[in-house]
Amino acid sequence: MTRWPSDDKPGKVRDAALAEFAGRGVEATSLREVAARAGVSVGLIQHHFGTKGDLVDAVNRHVTDLLREVLASGPEPVTVDDFGEQVMQLFTKHTVVADYLARALVDDTPFGAAIFDTLIEMGVARWRRRADAGQTVDDLDVPWAAMNMVVLVIGTVLLRPHIERQLAGPLLCPDQLDRWGAAVKGLMSRGYLRPGGSGGGGLELEGGYPAGVGPAKGVPTVQAGARKARTSSTTRTPLVPPARNR
């Protein structure tokens, strides 16, 4: 995040609010908690911003401006490498902004919806410029190409604690960011399957898992009927907990 001068009280308050909102959510965060993080009084927050709603609006404007700056592109097609650098900059230099954006999307706030639509619009424009330059396959589904990249980035933010369990180090350390960037670049530039290599038949399953793969240690399984051609046998599938109602 931007480091504000010690005498820039509005900047300190805004950054403190951004961090609190990213961690707790807007609804669960009080002005008192923002004031404690910023090292100021609630009265000073009200002096500079008015109500909590006004402070939220200021944070949202800041995040919107920063996203447009980081993900900006000119009239020429953005290369895969350039886009990767933009995403890495968002993760490394503006981690709290990425966390706040993910929180806004999960909480289904109007700001989250507006930012999602903006990111998709920017992505569609980016992919159309690539298509016009002859850089994409002929049958590219442009809206889904744009949405897939947003889902990939935001999903990584949301699942970071789980992803890091699978890595040798924190996601935001240089080695892991380089590894993730290379994987994303490979996905965008050539995909993971060679032409004609999908087989058309899907995965062969053993006990509800791909061949040679079983449930993780401690994961319960249940018997569930599985439709197969001309057979009535059952397979074992992992027990998936029901989604929580928010």
Instruction: Report the distance separating Cα 221 and Cα 229, nearest Å.
Output: 23
All residues at 6 or more sequence positions from 245 whose CB lies less than 8 Å from its CB, including other chains: none
Task: Find out whether 167 and 183 touch, Cβ atoms under 8 Å.
Answer: no
All residues at 6 or more sequence positions from 16 whose CB lies less than 8 Å from its CB, including other chains: 34, 35, 37, 38
Domains within the chain, CATH numbers bracketed:
1-59 (1.10.10.60), 71-189 (no CATH)
- Does position 218 have pLDDT exceeding 70, yes or no? no
What is the arithmetic mean of pLDDT over 108-114? 92
Q: Which SS3 state, helix, strand or coil, does residue 236 take?
A: strand
Chain segment 169-204, per-residue pLDDT in tens: 999 898 999 999 888 888 887 765 556 544 444 444
pLDDT of residue 71: 79
- Does position 26 have pLDDT exceeding 90, yes or no? yes
pLDDT of residue 192: 55
Instruction: Report the distance separating Cα 20 and Cα 225, nearest Å.
Output: 46
Neighbours of 63 (CB within 10 A): 22
- Does position 167 have pLDDT exceeding 90, yes or no? yes
What is the arithmetic mean of pLDDT over 76-83? 70
What is the arithmetic mean of pLDDT over 22-35? 95
Whole-number percent of the chain with pLDDT over 90: 42
Q: Which amino acid is at 76?
A: E
Q: Identify the residue with better confidence: 125 or 207.
A: 125
Q: Identify the residue with better confidence: 119 or 215.
A: 119
Q: Which amino acid is at 152?
A: L
String of b and e for 212-238 (b: at least 16 CB within 10 Å)?
eeeeeeeeeeeeeeeeeeeeeeeebbe
- Does position 3 have pLDDT exceeding 90, yes or no? no
Phi, psi dihedrals of residue 101, rounded to the nearest 5°:
-60, -45
- Does position 74 have pLDDT exceeding 90, yes or no? no
Q: Identify the residue with better confidence: 108 or 240.
A: 108
Phi, psi dihedrals of residue 71, rounded to the nearest 5°:
-100, 15
Phi, psi dihedrals of residue 166, rounded to the nearest 5°:
-95, -5
Instruction: Report the distance separating Cα 12 and Cα 31, nearest Å.
Output: 13
